[in-house]
Amino acid sequence: MKPGQIVINKKGRDKGRAMVVLAVEQEAKVTYLYLVDGFLRTLSKPKKKKLMHVQVTNSVVDLARAGPRGLQDADIRKMLGEEVNPLGEG
């Protein structure tokens, strides 16, 4: 698990929502992920979630490609849209 990985929430009010891993934190035997989606979970308020409550995908986005202005919520939304829905359907 690494920053930039796309995961799908399996539990909670965000169930079924695709999100990007912003950071990974290891506490004792539990791995926590800080997740953002650019809509409900913004960069200023990422969701802290246990690894066991998400479904890991093989998709990874480059968080460094944001450019000179830095990473913004619009960048996250665009990255998720390209990876989760590459043809612009539905």
* The pLDDT of residue 83: 66
Domains of the chain as residue ranges with CATH: 5-84 (2.30.30)
Alpha-carbon torsion, ordered 54, 32, 44, 63, to 10 deg: -70
* Cross-strand bridge partners of residue 26: 31
Distance CA 76, CA 79 (A): 5
CA distance 89 to 29: 40
Task: Convert the pLDDT of each residue in 53-89 to its tens digit.
Answer: 999 988 888 877 766 677 888 888 888 876 665 444 4
pTM of the complete model: 0.81
Please write the tens of the pLDDT for every residue from 12-42.
Answer: 888 888 999 999 999 889 999 999 988 888 8
Structure tokens at 8: 């799908």
The torsion region of residue 4 among left (phi > 0), alpha (psi -120 to 50) and beta comes to left
pLDDT for 89: 47
Predicted local distance difference test score (pLDDT) of residue 15: 86
